[in-house]
Structure formats: structure tokens, C-alpha cells
Amino acid sequence: MSWLMVNGQSVVLNGEKSVLDVVRKAGIDLPTLCYHPELTIHGACRLCMVEIEGRGIVAACHTPPEAGMVISTNSAVLRRLRKMALELLLSRHDRECTSCSRSGHCSLQDLSYRFGITDLRFKQEHDKQLPIDRSSIILRDPNKCILCGECVRICGEIQGIGVYDFVHRGAKMVVDTAFGQHLAETDCVHCGQCAAICPTGALVIKPQINEAWAALNDPTKTVIIQIAPAVRVSIGEEFNLPPGQSTMGQLISALRSMGASKVFDTSFAADITVLEETKEFFQRVESGENMPQFTSCCPAWVKYAEQSYPEYLSHLSSCRSPQQMLGSLVKKHYAKELGKKPEELFMISIMPCTAKKFEASREEFTTSGVPDVDLVITTQELAHMIKEAGIDFASLPTTPPDQPFGFVTGAGVIFGVTGGVSEAVLRLGYELITEQELEDVVFSEVRGYSGLRSCELTIKDRTLRLAVVNGLANAKTLLEDLKSGKAQYDLVEVMACPGGCIGGAGQPITNVNRQVRHERGAGLYLDDKAGPVQKSQQNPAVLEVYQKWLKEPGSAEAHEALHTTYRERDARCKITQPLPGKV
Amino acid sequence: MIRNSDQIQAIEKSYNHALQRGKAQILVCAGTGCMASGSPAVYDGLMAELKKRDLHTTIDCLLEDEHADSGVTVVNSGCHGFCEKGPLVRIEPEGILYTKVQVEDVVEIVDAVVAETVVERLLYHDPRTNEAFAKEHDIPFYKYQTRVALCNCGEIDPEDIRAYMAHDQGYQGIANALAMSPEQVNEQILSANLRGRGGGGFPAGRKWSIAAAQKADQKYIICNGDEGDPGAFMDRSIMEGDPHSVLEGMMIAGYAIGASKGYIYVRAEYPLAVQRLKNAISQAQAAGLLGDNILGSGFSFQIQVKEGAGAFVCGEESALIASIEGQRGMPRPKPPFPAVAGLWGKPTIINNVETLANVSRIMTKGVDWFTSIGTPSSPGTKTFALTGEVENTGLIEVPMGRTIEEVVFKIGGGIRGGRKFKAVQIGGPSGGCLTEDQLDITLDFDSLQQVGAMIGSGGLVVMDENTCVVEVARFFMNFIQNESCGKCTFCREGTLQMLNILQRIVDGKGTLEDLDLLVEVGEMVQIGSLCGLGKTAPNPVLSTLENFRDEYVAHIKDKRCPAGVCEALKRFVIVADKCKGCSRCAKTCPVGAISGEVRSPYVIDVEKCIKCGACVEVCKFMAIEEVS
């Protein structure tokens, strides 16, 4: 067994890749601003410097550990070095912390406090303020950027898109898009992972809290809320509850007290998605056309396919995402039941996702010219609103969701975790193929968190080839394999964010921690298990909706309300073809 | 196609024989410096004059006709190094050097060649004694040099591969190497203790051994020709004047480590070097010296020229690799080192141009010859770009271990205009500033490192008493800040803050606390930066602060620039004794900064004064003086 010394304490080596990992394992929280375990090593912030006997001072993140190393982490020169690095990073940083939306969750702020940076000796020279890009739902403020490059790497390495890179040299260096285009004109899919990983307020999601309050306070609007599956297992983190603890009941209570007139569960629409998508899948299997079928719940993936793989658009399920299905049902059918016009209803979605903000604004998703979903706010934004309202979230009583879109099955709930859509479809598909009741609803083949996993399932006389992908870089790999004929599948589930929606960029910022994501996922599986019904096809409320408005899965009525079409995007990421029927 | 070393020797023999049969060879310098000062016109003029007199011949004519024994050949050579005196023309075999030759001088030169005399007025004249030197090797600038890496520069036609083979046994090095095992070649370079000429001085053989030990399906040799130091042009001169020595060095390195592909990374700002390298590559390919199965040894090697976009940081190995790969030129964290995982993740050796030129010589002339030059810990020679306030500036090469004094005063001819020596900046923006007390320091890797300087890129800037060291430090810091890739905190932000402080000091707005902060930031930038650019960036500041602290203090406390350079610290004063109170100056002053009573001395309000000097011009009594 090999070991090394950290500050006089021996630490056993167990395959750690860097001295940083070893030092952290030894219980010493070396500061970093540019290091992330899921990205390549950048080595730029220079905060994790350590002293190694015989080698001098090196950055721990890019030094491989070796047996017998004698490492110290707190010498006088190292402390000076760290303080100086922070002082330098702060020297040109926009330090208007009180009005920064990242205040309280800012790594730079935290480290400045931790290292007692109270006196900045560098005079702020009259640097011109760089313009803020407000074109997209992701706001970019280069004046707050510390050039750690995490956004550059997460967009390039995890999402395979590479919207950002460094431009210019020396102190003029900034992170920018190609040719300085506005973000809205780039290949950005609005997944928001760049903002989630940003250690400061340089990349933030456009806040829409005020619009939410305006609607809630407007007596002429009936505010209807829908809550996505992944929100219930993460929002508690903002209120010191452990990740994964389901707080759906408290959420509904909070929203009611804030003025919502109805609170629905998006998982209900997920159940409908299962019925529609499975129907569509077997139709494709029958006809043999446009196989494999890709899921279409993830708006970031849909945009990615539209701009980068238009040749595969016919393979995307025509199902709208659960958010848009529920919005459509509310505006098209439920409004009538309430005796209201669509514009009198104001639908707010609470989503773990930032791309949902973009999705809700798509021209396809309207009823009589009114958006089906009027406003999307993220888990983080809702937590802010609850705090602003002074609600003691953790001690709220639980309230059930409203009907008719309140009853959900476990299958709809696990939509929030990677592999969940596939599993929910399998729970129905199995019964359709075998014409027998499925006893054990767990399909462990599609569970897990690795970015690209595939399996072959033999059900009765049929073999289904499934692939489950999270992270668009993995989707790219899979699509290229399909193109080259290296791989063949029947059904492919794609989620842009690591871990699926539980890792969405709208989630509390602990999001970037893999362990936290896994606990959230476990929370969803626990909810699935604990619920009374685990198969979408057994949701009585869903069946009622079909009876009342949609007839049966795949009907013309269902298509009108629940399906959509896709169009290719041009080089500037604009859709130029008209909507079908809107020439 | 050349298949063995005997064929190389045959070419050497026949070429030299042909050259001897001609009456003379005129070498017109076609380095970038001489071309800029008009050498192409001189070349054309010489050709025309010789043709007119039916004296012109070419090496090809002499080679073809074994009985031909007259005629003068004219060739464009590489850089002779004495660029300041260009265009340079050399007459062989006598070795006569003509300086500042213009097209009007052509007839006289041809006359002298025919009559076997010299054109006295075109010879180099010592600026102090006015003594004329006919032979190049007698001129002090050349006399104290030892040319190893530059041995062909200015001596041969760089566009003719035969000239390279004929002069100093070109391509004999690779032939010798291929007769050994790769391990033996490596052993040669190790025992020659050839240290990297790019600045760091890391032993090339040790680097090669690491790469040689790697198991990989592909390895690469990269020649680092990204010479970005302001004022340095050693590598450019070698690439322009002796491109084949670089190719040969790369081939030897490739054989030693098992690489079959090489890249030469050259700045796009060196178009002539790019052109000559490409020409040399195609000639070597045509001769069978590059390509498959070189000299029948089974060793294959290809070389490609890659033009860089002109970033100083791309001289850093990992940034250079990123640039070749099409990425932004930014250093990557090390380890892994390029010798283990470099270009496209494959083991890669990056050697500087001069290092590779030396490799060719070592493999031609042997390890013992090489180690007999220089010092035991730094064998061989080093080229320098000698610039600044010396009489003779240019490209020089001296054995390691020469003192700075010898270089500045013997080769450089001392300070211009008889002024006083103040300091010498070695190694450009990464180097340090050495003072008069340090003139006896020897130029080699270890002694310079001991005093906080480094050979670095090989720039030698000599400063006299009229140079402000604070301004020099600010200049280099500005260069570094503009050229920093911006990746790591210390180099990006630290050098900016250092520059800001230096700017304040030369503007007369610095404080004594600023000096402490400057040292503190400088030390942290040295320790904390990611790559060599940042780690060495504070050297000019820290070394001048140590050696010339009083000058910094004068800028801060007395608002005075002792060298009289810093604009912001210049002041105009009216000398009361000389002023007659005529009021002309007050009437002329565009900003109304001068006031007083007629017939009594006027005064200048320094706050209002814009230092235009208009008052000095109009004063009839020379009563207004500029002080600093």
C-alpha cells in the first residue's frame, strides 16, 4: 500500500488522479476556482498551490500524486500566494455584491471572506465596463467573469457544443462567443449548465421572479401552477433539507399561500407522454420508418437536433414535452371547464430547467394566440420567492395537488432522472407486447448515471435495443455511431443535463455536485416506489382526460393538443420555415 | 537521389572544386535586414555589370564544364550578422567585407575584383580609430566570435542544398547518425551536454531519452522557430541563412527518438524564413534526404512548416502544440510533459532552432570537438542579438563562458559616443538587468541564473547612462501584459497590476508603498504562474529594483527621472538670473501657464504647463531650461 504525507499526516493513495484529490481526501479543503472533477484540468486559478518537498510550489490540481511525497498546504508563502491570487482576481472584478444575483452563492465571495481579504491594495483603474449580453435567457456579464473557463469546458466537453471560448490576450482576455455574437444567435441550447457551474455572477439565468409576483398579485388572472418532477427532490436544499427529500406537499402549500389558485403536477402530463410516445413507438416499429425513435421531452436536446442533426428530426417523437402538454390541456380544454378564456388563465411552470423558459416561448405552443405556458421559473427562483415571502418552508403542512391534473404515477415522477422516460415507456410497452400485467416495474437496465448506456431487452418474442443518453456530447457520439452504422437502436432517450432533469441548471446550485444529483435521483425512485400506482396506463385521472377530451392515445384530438412538429434551423440558429398550416 | 554518404562527399568535392575554379564568388547578404536596406538592387546591379563585362558565371556552369576556370559567381547569402552596416557584400575567396553597399558602388566593386584590389571606402572603419579592415575576420565584431550554429550564415547560398553539403560537411551529420543505433545517437547528444538554446537550458539529450523511452505508434519532432522576443533574430537568421542545418538536426532528433514526422513552427512574420525552409524541404526531398528510407537506412522522416500567428506565448512548448493542433495558443498544465504526451497526445520533442543547428554540427564534427568549446557545464557557443547603445550591433555567436565585458566592449566596440555603460538586459522580457559591477559575469546558463538573469531568448540590450531603467522595466512589462495568454491569474492580473504601478511611477504618481507592492506581486507572479512566460515576467522589474532602487526612488520622491527620459517628469523652469522679464514667453504660452511682472523674472506654473516647449523657442536670453 502506498501513501504520502499531507501536513504531517499520512494518507493512503487509492488511485487518486491529483494531489488535490489526495489533499481533499485528507480533510483539507484546498480552495479552487477553476477545478471541476467532471471537466478537464485547466490549472488557471492558481489557488490550489501546495509545497512538495524537493519540488517546490506546484498547483495540486495538475500534479499527479506519488508515493512518499511530503506535502504541506499552509506555509506562509502559500497563504500569501492565495491571498494575492484572490486580491488580483478581485482587482478588476465588479464588486457590487449586494445587488448581484449570485450573492450568497458566489465562490469568489466565499473565498474572499474565508481568506480575510478586507483590504484591496490595487487601485481600480478606469476600466471601461464591458457590455452585458441580455439577448438570451442566460445573461452574460463579463465584468464579473474571473476567466476560470468552466463555462468554456462544460459547454464544449459535456454538451459538445462549444458556444464559448477565450478571446484576446493578457488582461483584455474575455470569454466570448464566436465573432462576439449575441448568445441568442449562437448554437446555445439554453441548458444553462454554464450558469450553473459559473463560480460568480458572470453567467446567470435571467430572473423572472417579478413577473411571477405580478401575475400572482393580479386579481384579473387565475394563476395555475405546474411543478416538474425533479423540483420536489431538490428545492429543500435551499432550506437546509437534505437533497432527495421529497417536498411536493410543502411546495403546494407554499404556492397556495403565495396566491396560486390551482397547483398541478407535471408528472401527470408525463403519464400522458408515456401513453402517446409508446403508441407512436409501436406505430414506428410496425411501419419500420424513422427508427430509432428519440424522446422529445428535453427542449435543449430538441434545439440541438434542429440545428445540428436536422436529418434526424423525423426520428424525434412528435410528443410535446410534459410541460407543454399540460399547458396545452389547461389552455385548450380546462379553461372551458372553468368557463374562462385562455388569456384569463396564467400558467406558471416551476422547472428544474432553464431551456424550458425558451421552450415556452416557441411559437408552436400557443392556444388562440396565447402562450400555453405563460411563465417558467426555476427551482432556484421559486426558492427565492418563498424566502422573500418569509415562508418557513421546512415546517409547512403538506397539501395534495389539485384535480384534474393532480393524480400522478411513479412512472411520471421518474421522468426527472436519466433513464426514467425509458423505464416508464417500458412499463407500458411490456404490457402491450405480452398482454400480461407487469409484476416487477423496475428496469434496472436503464437506471444509472453514466452518460451513454445501452441495453437489449427481450420481451416475449421481441428484442428492443435501447440507449439512454445524458449530456449532449454523448448524444453527438451516439448520433455519429448511428450515422456510420456502428450502432443500431430502437428507442433513444436523450436528456441534455448530467443526470437528467435533476441536474438541470435551474436547480439549487449544489447541482454541480455529482453526489447531490444522485441523492436527488434516489429521492425520485423512492417517490416512485412509495406511490399507489407505478404505471402511467393505470393513472385514473389520465384515463378520465382521454375520456373527456382526447378519446385515445394517438387520436386526432390527442395530436391537436399534445403533439408538435420540428423544423430545421439556419446558420444563425433561426427557424425560417413557416409553421405547418401557417403559410 | 542520394543513397549513401559517399554521394554526399562526392557532391561536396565537386562543388568545392567548381567554386575554386571560378575567379571569385560575390556573396550578397539576403538576410531580412540587408534586403530591407537595399541588397536586392545591389545583387541585380552586380549581375548586370558582370554580364556586361562577360565575367559572369554560375556554379552550375562551372560544375557542368570541368575545364571552365574563370568567371565570377554571385549568390545571395544568409545573414552575416552585422545588419547595422548592411547591405553587406563579401568577396571570396579573400573574405573581403564591404559595408553599406549601394547599387552605385557596383562598378567599383567589380573593378576591384578584376584587379584583385579592394574598395577602401566601402570597408569597415573603426568608429574610434578610423582604421580600415579589409578582411571580415579581422573586424573586431567578427574577430572575437566563434561561429558554430551560424557557421554557414552569410557563407553559403541558403537556397542551394549543394552549397550546404559543400560547406562544413552538411548532411554528413545525419549520415553519421544513421550509421549508429538511435541509442548511440542519443548517447552522443547526452555526452555533448547540449543544453536547450531556447532559454531554459534543459539538456536536449535528457529530453530525447524520455521521448525515446515512450512506446507509441507515432512520435513528433517540433522545431521551435517562434522567436518572439523584441529585438532577437538569431533563429530567424539561421532559418533564413542555413535552413538545411535545421532540417538535418530534426532528422537526427527524429532518428534518435523514433519519430517519423516533424513540424517547424515559424512565425508568419518571418516570410523569408518560411520561404527558405519550404525551399530547403523540397530540395531535401528531391535529393532523397527527406522522405522514405533515408540513405538506405530504413529511417523515414517528413517535415512540414507550420506558420504561427505571432503570439509570444507560442514559444512555450504546450502553447505551441495547442497552436499546431488548431487551438488557441495557451499553455497546458504540466505534467504530462510533451516528451510523454505532446502533439495530438503523442510523445513530442520540441527543440529550438539553434539547438537543432548545433545537433547537426555535433553529429558532423563529434562530441569532443563540441565540448572543447565553451564551459564544462555549458559546452558550445551561444548566439546573441546584441543591440542597444553599443557601437556595433548585430547577430553574434560566442563560446559559452565569455564575460559580458568582452561581448559589450570587444565585439560591441563599447558604448556609442563614448558615453558611460549603465546596464545590460539579458534574455529580453524574461531576463534580468545586470550592472557595471556584474560585467565580469560569464555568459552561460548557470552563472546567469545565479544572478537572477537568464540567457532566455538571447537578446542582449546594452544601456547607457541616458537609459531610464524604470522605463525599460515598464516597457518589458507592457510587452508581457500584451503577450500574456491571459489564462492564469498571476500572469494575467499580476503583470497588469505591476504595469499599472510602473506606469504610475514613470508618470510621477508613484508612492514608496508601491515599491513594496511591486516586489510582493512580482515574487508571487514568479512562484504562482502556470508557465515560463509568467514565471520569468517579473525578472526585469525585480532585477532593476535591486540594482537601481535609487532611480525608482528618484521618480517617486523627487519626481525626477535621472536619465531624463520620462516625459511626465520633465519640467520647464525659468532661470531667474537670466530672465529679463520681457514677457515674450508668457505671450507665447498656449495655456497661460507663465506669469510675472514686466522687467522682473517670470515663473512657470508646473500644474498648468503642458510641456510643449514653445517658451524655450521664443526666449532670447536662454532663460528657460528643461529639467527632469
Q: Are B289 and B338 in a shared domain? A: yes
pLDDT tens for residues A186-200?
999 999 999 999 999
CB contact under 8 A, A44 and B528: no
Q: Which of B126, B143, B160 is the last residue of a domain?
A: B143
Q: Where do we find the cell 508668457? A: B586
In this structure, is residue B437 part of a structural domain?
A: yes
* Mean predicted confidence (pLDDT) in A44-64: 96
A154 has a pLDDT exceeding 50: yes
Whole-number percent of chain B with pLDDT over 90: 82
Closest-CA residue to A501 (of A267, A335, A187): A267
Closest-CA residue to B277 (of B304, B312, B315): B304
In this structure, is residue B149 part of a structural domain?
A: no
What pLDDT is recorded for position B2?
87
What pLDDT is recorded for position B169?
92
What pLDDT is recorded for position A583?
43
Q: Are B281 and B346 in a shared domain? A: yes
Q: Are B579 and B498 in a shared domain? A: no
* Mean predicted confidence (pLDDT) in B392-413: 94
CA distance A517 to A234: 9
B124 has a pLDDT exceeding 80: yes
pLDDT band, very low/low/confident/very high, at A1 (cuts 50, 70, 90): confident
Taking contacts as CB-CB distances below 8 angstroms, the residues of chain A near B311 are 169
A581 has a pLDDT exceeding 70: no
Taking contacts as CB-CB distances below 8 angstroms, the residues of chain B near A59 are 333, 530
- Element of type H or E holding B434: strand B432-435
In this structure, is residue B546 part of a structural domain?
A: yes
- Three-state secondary structure call for residue A38: coil
Q: Are B189 and B299 in a shared domain? A: yes
Q: Are B520 and B591 in a shared domain? A: no
Q: What is the pLDDT of chain A when averaged over all its residues?
A: 95
B478's grid cell: 507592457
pLDDT tens for residues B2-55?
888 899 999 999 999 999 888 999 999 999 899 999 999 999 999 999 999 999
Amino acid at B220: Y
Long-range Cβ contact pairs of B325-334 (< 8 A, separation 24 or more): B328/A165, B328/A166, B328/B485, B329/B485, B330/A166, B330/B485, B330/B486, B330/B487, B331/B485, B331/B487, B331/B530, B331/B531, B331/B533, B332/A43, B333/A41, B333/A42, B333/A43, B333/A59, B333/A61, B333/A62, B333/B530, B334/A62
| Residues 468-507 in B contacting A (C-alpha not used; CB under 8 Å) | 480-490, 492-497, 500
What pLDDT is recorded for position A127?
64
**CATH number of the domain encompassing residue B17:** 3.40.30.10
| Residues 520-559 in B contacting A (C-alpha not used; CB under 8 Å) | 520-521, 524, 527-530
- 3-state SS, B179-205, equals CCCHHHHHHHHHHCCCECCCCCCCEHH
Q: What is the pLDDT of chain B when averaged over all its residues?
A: 93
Amino acid at A430: Y
Q: Which of B414, B432, B467 is the last residue of a domain?
A: B467
**Residue A35 C-alpha from the chain's centroid:** 20
Q: What ipTM was predicted for this assembly?
A: 0.92
Question: B482 CA to chain A: closest CA distance, Å?
Answer: 5
In this structure, is residue B350 part of a structural domain?
A: yes
Whole-number percent of chain A with pLDDT over 70: 98
Whole-number percent of chain A with pLDDT over 90: 93
What pLDDT is recorded for position B432?
87
B435 has a pLDDT exceeding 50: yes
Question: A9 CA to chain B: closest CA distance, Å?
Answer: 25
What pLDDT is recorded for position A303?
97
Q: Which of B371, B400, B428 is the last residue of a domain?
A: B371
pLDDT tens for residues A336-381?
999 999 999 999 999 999 999 999 999 999 999 999 999 999 999 9
| Torsion sign, CA atoms B475, B476, B478, B479 | positive
Q: Are B322 and B175 in a shared domain? A: yes
Q: Are B333 and B367 in a shared domain? A: yes
B272 has a pLDDT exceeding 60: yes
Is the peptide bond between A322 and the residue preceding it cis, with omega within 30 degrees of 0? no
Report strand pairing: A9-12 vs B381-388: unpaired
pLDDT tens for residues A100-152?
999 999 999 999 999 999 989 997 766 678 999 999 999 999 999 999 999 99
User: Taking each helix axis from N to C terminus, what angle separates B495-506 and B549-557, rounded to the nearest 10 degrees?
Assistant: 60
In this structure, is residue B484 part of a structural domain?
A: yes
| Torsion sign, CA atoms B439, B443, B444, B449 | positive
Q: Residue B306: which domain range?
A: 169-371
- Best mutation site among A120, A166, A169, A200 for testing chain B: the one with the most B CBs within 10 Å? A169
* Mean predicted confidence (pLDDT) in B506-534: 95
Closest-CA residue to B3 (of B186, B168, B157, B171): B171
Residue A335 neighbours by CB under 8 Å, 6+ apart: A341, A342, A344, A345
What pLDDT is recorded for position A125?
66
CA distance A77 to B491: 18
A148 shares contact with chain B (CB less than 8 Å): no
A120 shares contact with chain B (CB less than 8 Å): no
B116 has a pLDDT exceeding 80: yes
DSSP-derived letter for residue B86 is P
Question: B503 CA to chain A: closest CA distance, Å?
Answer: 12
pLDDT band, very low/low/confident/very high, at B341 (cuts 50, 70, 90): very high
Question: A326 CA to chain B: closest CA distance, Å?
Answer: 45
Per-position DSSP letters for B112-174, written without gaps between them? HHHHT---GGGSEE-TTT--EE-BGGGSHHHHT---STTTTTTTS-TT-HHHHHHSTTTTHHH
Per-position DSSP letters for B306-361, written without gaps between them? EEE---GGGGSHHHHHHHHTTS------SSSPTTTS-GGGS-EEEEEHHHHHHHHH
The structure's pTM equals 0.91
**CATH number of the domain encompassing residue B448:** 3.10.20.600
In this structure, is residue B286 part of a structural domain?
A: yes
Q: Where do we find the cell 490595487? A: A122
What pLDDT is recorded for position B452?
74
* Mean predicted confidence (pLDDT) in B506-520: 95
**CATH number of the domain encompassing residue B619:** 3.30.70.20
DSSP-derived letter for residue B88 is P
- Best mutation site among B312, B479, B496 for testing chain A: the one with the most A CBs within 10 Å? B496
* Mean predicted confidence (pLDDT) in B574-582: 92
Bridge partners, residue B267, by sequence: B308
User: What is the tally of structural domains in chain B?
Assistant: 5
In this structure, is residue B151 part of a structural domain?
A: no
CA distance B187 to A153: 42
| Residues 43-72 in A contacting B (C-alpha not used; CB under 8 Å) | 43-47, 49, 57, 59, 61-64
Q: Are B238 and B344 in a shared domain? A: yes
B579 has a pLDDT exceeding 80: yes
All structural domains of chain A, each given as residue ranges with its CATH number in brackets, are: 3-74 (3.10.20.740), 88-205 (3.30.70.20), 209-562 (3.40.50.1780)
Q: Are B346 and B492 in a shared domain? A: no
- Element of type H or E holding A325: helix A322-329
A123 shares contact with chain B (CB less than 8 Å): yes
Active site residues of A: 277, 280, 297, 317, 356, 359, 364, 501
Q: Are B346 and B233 in a shared domain? A: yes
B211 has a pLDDT exceeding 70: yes
The size of chain B, in residues, is 628
Q: Are B461 and B481 in a shared domain? A: no
**How many beta-carbon contacts under 8 Å exist across A and B?**
105
CA distance A109 to A113: 6
In this structure, is residue B333 part of a structural domain?
A: yes
What pLDDT is recorded for position A510?
64
DSSP-derived letter for residue B586 is H
**CATH number of the domain encompassing residue B222:** 3.40.50.11540
Q: Are B453 and B485 in a shared domain? A: no
B199 has a pLDDT exceeding 80: no
**CATH number of the domain encompassing residue B505:** 1.20.1440.230
